[in-house]
Amino acid sequence: MNVKTMLLGFLMHNSMTGYEIKKRFSLSFSFFSGLSFGSIYPALKKMEQEGLITLKVEMQDGSPNRKVYTITDEGKKVFLENLGAPFPLEQPKNAFLARLFFFAYLTPEEQLASAKSHLGSIKEIQKNLSAVEPQIRGRADEYQYLCYSFGVRFYDDLLRNVAQVVEKLEKRKPEQKVRSPKKRTRPNMKGGDP
C-alpha cells in the first residue's frame, strides 16, 4: 500500500494534524512498511494539490498554529478504490538474506558478527512492538489489531530464523574449513595486455 492510501485511510476516521498522523503512523505502520516519516508531509502536500484533502490552519494563542487535514469526497472515493483494487503478491526483500548468500566471502568472525548484529536489531524491534501494544490495543479496531498481531508473529518468525543461523555459525568447529569461493582477479583497467 502506498503512502497516499495509508494517509487517506487515517483521515477517513477524522481530521488530523500532521503531528497526529505521524503519531498514528508510528503506532500502526512504522514496523511493517518501508515508509518513513519523511514521506508523510510531501505526500500530504501533493494530496492537497490533487484535491484529495483540504488543509485548514487553526490559529492558537501562545502555540504554533495547527494545520488540520481533512479528507474530501474525492479523497474518500480514491481511498476506497485503492483499498478495493486487487494487489499483486509482493516479493519480500530481505537485506540479511542477500548478505547471507555471500557469507563465504567473509571470515567466520565477520559472519558471526553480522548475523548477531541483525539478530540484535530484530530483538530491538520486538521490544518496541511490545512497548506499544497497550496503546494499540486501546485504540485499534479488530482489523488494525489483527494487522499488529500479524506483524508481531512475522518478527517472531524472523527472530527464530536468524537465531538458527547464529546458532549454526557458533557451533562450527574451529577445524572446520569454511569453503570460500575462488578469488577473482580484477581486470587490467589500464588497457593493453594483462
Instruction: Judge if 79 and 122 occupy the same domain.
Output: no
Instruction: Judge if 138 and 105 occupy the same domain.
Output: yes
* Banded model confidence at residue 47, pLDDT cuts 50, 70, 90: very high
pLDDT in tens, 89-105: 777 778 899 999 999 99
Phi, psi at residue 185, to the nearest 5°?
-90, 150
Instruction: Judge if 106 and 154 occupy the same domain.
Output: yes
| C-alpha distances in Å from residue 108, one per residue of 91, 120, 191 | 30, 18, 37
> Which of 31, 57, 84 is the last residue before a domain boundary?
84
Residues 6+ apart with CB under 8 A from 14: none
SS in 3 state form for 80-122? Answer: HHHHHCCCCCCCCCCHHHHHHHCHHHCCHHHHHHHHHHHHHHH
Q: Is 31 left (phi over 0), alpha (psi -120 to 50) or beta?
A: alpha
CA dist 94 and 153 (Å) reads 17
Q: Which domain holds residue 155?
A: 95-171
> Which of 60, 84, 108 is the last residue before a domain boundary?
84
pLDDT in tens, 49-90: 999 999 999 888 888 888 999 999 999 999 999 998 887 777
Comparing 174 with 40, the larger pLDDT belongs to 40
Q: Is the pLDDT of residue 183 over 60?
A: no
Instruction: Judge if 101 and 80 occupy the same domain.
Output: no
Domain count, the chain: 2
Instruction: Judge if 28 and 59 occupy the same domain.
Output: yes
Instruction: Judge if 162 and 119 occupy the same domain.
Output: yes
How far is residue 33 CA from its own chain's centroid? 3
Q: Is the pLDDT of residue 186 over 60?
A: no
Burial label, 3 (beta-carbon count in 10 A; 0-12, 13-18, 19+): buried
Instruction: Judge if 69 and 18 occupy the same domain.
Output: yes
Instruction: Judge if 8 and 78 occupy the same domain.
Output: yes
Helix (H, G, I), strand (E, B) or coil at 1: coil
CA dist 130 and 180 (Å) reads 40
pLDDT in tens, 138-177: 888 898 888 889 889 999 999 999 999 999 999 987 655 5
**Is 189 among the domain residues?**
no
* Banded model confidence at residue 23, pLDDT cuts 50, 70, 90: confident
Between helix 18-28 and helix 3-13 the angle, nearest 10°, is: 110
- Of 87, 56, 65, 66, nearest in space to 20 by CA: 66
Comparing 32 with 143, the larger pLDDT belongs to 143
Instruction: Judge if 15 and 39 occupy the same domain.
Output: yes
Instruction: Judge if 79 and 99 occupy the same domain.
Output: no
Q: Is the pLDDT of residue 30 over 70?
A: no
**Is 178 among the domain residues?**
no
Q: What is the CATH number of the domain that holds 49?
A: 1.10.10.10
**Is 165 among the domain residues?**
yes
> Which of 55, 84, 113 is the last residue before a domain boundary?
84
How high is the mean pLDDT of the chain?
A: 84
Instruction: Judge if 24 and 74 occupy the same domain.
Output: yes
**Is 162 among the domain residues?**
yes
